[in-house]
Amino acid sequence: DQQVKQNSPSLRVQEGRISILNCDYTNSMFDYFLWYKKYPAEGPTFLISISSIKDKNEDGRFTVFLNKSAKHLSLHIVPSQPGDSAVYFCAASSTGNTPLVFGKGTRLSVIA
Amino acid sequence: DGGITQSPKYLFRKEGQNVTLSCEQNLNHDAMYWYRQDPGQGLRLIYYSQIVNDFQKGDIAEGYSVSREKKESFPLTVTSAQKNPTAFYLCASSMTGSMFNQPQHFGDGTRLSIL
């Protein structure tokens, strides 16, 4: 049973517009959430995280929103750039640095 | 430069052979992890270690073994008991014991193929 779900396998966005990637989770014990970006044949790169005591965290063009009651988080990229084209993984863990649980990823394509 | 080094980048194995994937980190991280990625799948946890000389099974540990004799190193052995070993293997590390959660940092992976 998937504890972290990314229901959109792919997303196409025009350059300059907003990209919104979504993630749902089922385990109410999760309190730390991360987004990773991955290019082919490379390891994932950490992008941004949020703990359950917050509902928003911003870092440059990247913002993560957390809705605990809906068990939903989203990553907003504004403005989207062609270099943002990659697979984005959502991950979650519970307190105590337990191993991360990953979603299956969403492939973002930013079109010039 | 601090980071995680996985070697080799590509590895081929004959059926029935054991093969060991290397993972070294110089980030002074306590915890290390091994994941497997298959096409269209997320990262699935194989084994992890939070401290030297100790490790725990992840979700898909069958057919794999690990050791953690040094803080910097966490090699993964894919044994002949692993029936479908062809995959992209990722090693990661993170700090522990911190007041705040710390993200995992990943190596660039090893692609294992069966001849």
Average pLDDT of the segment spanning B15-25: 94
Average pLDDT of the segment spanning B97-108: 79
**Residue A33 contacts residue A64 (beta carbons within 8 Å):** yes
Amino acid identity for residue B15 in this structure: E
**Residue B50 contacts residue B33 (beta carbons within 8 Å):** no
Average pLDDT of the segment spanning B15-44: 92
- Residue whose entry in the numeric block shows the structure tokens 């005591």: A53
Q: Which residues of B touch A101 (CB under 8 A)?
A: 45
Phi then psi for residue A78, to 5 deg, are: -140, 125
A46 min Cα distance to partner chain B (Å) = 7
Residue A26 DSSP code: -
B79 min Cα distance to partner chain A (Å) = 23
Average pLDDT of the segment spanning B38-56: 92
pLDDT band at B83 (very low <50, low <70, confident <90, very high): confident
Check CB contact of B2 with chain A, cutoff 8 Å.
no
Q: Which residues of A touch B43 (CB under 8 A)?
A: 44, 89, 91, 100, 102
Average pLDDT of the segment spanning A26-49: 93
Residue B115: predicted pLDDT: 83
Cβ separation A34–B109 shorter than 8 A: no
Is residue A65's pLDDT more than 60? yes
Is residue B97's pLDDT more than 80? no
Is residue B86's pLDDT more than 70? yes
Residue B39: predicted pLDDT: 84
Residue B98: predicted pLDDT: 61
pLDDT band at A70 (very low <50, low <70, confident <90, very high): very high
Cβ separation A44–B43 shorter than 8 A: yes
Both tokens of residue A100? 């991360």
Residue A97: predicted pLDDT: 59
B96 compared with B12, residue with greater pLDDT: B12
Average pLDDT of the segment spanning B65-84: 95
Instruction: Give the model confidence (pLDDT) of A80-104 as tens digits.
Output: 999 999 999 999 998 765 788 999 9
Report d(CA B45, CA A101) in Å as an integer.
8
B50 compared with A20, residue with greater pLDDT: A20
Instruction: Give the model confidence (pLDDT) of B2-13 as tens digits.
Output: 699 999 999 998
Check CB contact of B92 with chain A, cutoff 8 Å.
yes
Q: Which of B43, B100, B111 sits opposite A89 (nearest CB)?
A: B43
Residue B96: predicted pLDDT: 77
Check CB contact of B107 with chain A, cutoff 8 Å.
yes
Cβ separation A97–B43 shorter than 8 A: no
Q: Distances in Å between the alpha carbon of B60 and those of A64, B47, B76, B82?
A: 30, 8, 13, 10
